[in-house]
A and B are shown apart, each in its own frame.
Chain A
Amino acid sequence: MLWWVVFMSEFMRLDAQAPATLGAVVEAVTRLSTLSEAKILELVSAGKIAELFPFKPANAQAIPADTVAEDELAEASALPLSRKQRDALIDSSLPAAAKKKSRAFSKG
C-alpha cells in the first residue's frame, strides 16, 4: 500500500512547477474512477482531461532515440503477469526519479 501512495505522489501540477499534493491526486483519481472508460476516452479525445486530472508525471527525462537495434528490444510477455511483474510495469510508467546517493559511514 505504501508503494501505491508513493506512486501517486510522483505527479506535478500541470499549471505550476510544483509537486501535486497527494490528496489532490487521490481526489482526482477517485472522481475519475466513477466515470466509465468510454467517458474518460471521450474527455481525453476532446483534450479536456486536464479539467479532471490536472497533473503530469514528475521527473522529466530525456527523449529516447527514434530507433533501437533488434537486440535492444524486450518482447512483452503474452502471458498473464504475476503481481510482482504488474507492480514493476506500473513502476515503469513514471519517469525514474534521480537516484539519491546514500551517505557512507565516515572512515576517519
Chain B
Amino acid sequence: MTAGDALWWDARLGPKHAPMATRADRFWSWSVLLALCHVVQRAKRRYCRPLVIWARTDHGRFLRVGMSILIEDYPYLDVAHPGDAHFVWFMSAADAGVLTNEFGLSHPPALARVLLDNAIILSQNAGFKGRMGLHAAVAGGDVLPKVYERCGLLTLPRAAELPPQVRRLNDGRYFYADEAVAEALAAALDASR
C-alpha cells in the first residue's frame, strides 16, 4: 500500500462508506492511518505491513477492493502458548454493492477471508506457523464478531488474560488463529493461489 492507494480509497470509496452506519471503518482516513500506524509501531519497535487487495473488474482491469494494516511480530493472544504472531490492526473491505454498481465488478470476492488469509500466510512465512490475532472494532457492533466467527477464527474467551504487552483489558472482542486453524484456513484457499 502506497500513499496513492490510501488517497484513492479515501477519495473514491470513503465517501460511499461514510453514510453506512454499520461500518466500523466509516470514519477511517487511510492516508492518515498509513503514516500513523508506521510511526506508532516504530515507537514500539515493531513494523507494519500495509496491504491492498485488487480484484479484476468486468472490463479486465484491476480495482482496489480491500485494505489492511498488519503488525508483524506481535504477541500471540493465547497466553497459554506464549509466542509471536501477526496482528491485523485495520482492515477494510469495499462494500459489495458499491463495487458492483459504481465500479463494474459484478462478482466481488469474499474479502474478509482474503484479508485474513494475508495475515496467516505472512505469519506462516515469518515462522509463526500462521498464528494471528485481531480485535473486532467496537464500532462494528454485534455484526463484526460474527463475521470473524464465520471466517473460522477462534474467539478469545472474555475471561482469558491478554499478554501484558497488549496493555488492554479483554472485552471479549479478540479473535485469533492458532496453528491448526491457520493451516486449515490457508489450505481452504490453496486452490486460488
Q: Taking beta carbons and an 8 Å cutoff, which residues of A are in contact with B?
A: 4, 7-8, 11, 25, 29-30, 32-42, 44-47, 49, 53, 55-57, 61, 63-64, 66-70, 72-73, 76, 78-81, 86, 89-90, 92-96
Contact = CB atoms under 8 A, between A and B. Distances in A.
Interface stretch (B106-114, B121-129, B147-155): B121-129
Given A4-B42, A93-B50, A94-B3, A45 B12 contact: no
Interface in B136-192: 137-140, 166-168, 171, 173-174
Contact of A94 (B12, B35, B42, B125): B35
A57 B35 contact: yes
Interface residues of B, number: 61
A3 B192 CA distance: 39
Given A49-B32, A63-B11, A73-B62, A41 B40 contact: no
B1 A93 contact: yes
B38 to A, nearest CB: 5
B168 A45 contact: no
A45 B61 contact: no
A57 B3 contact: yes
A41 to B, nearest CB: 5
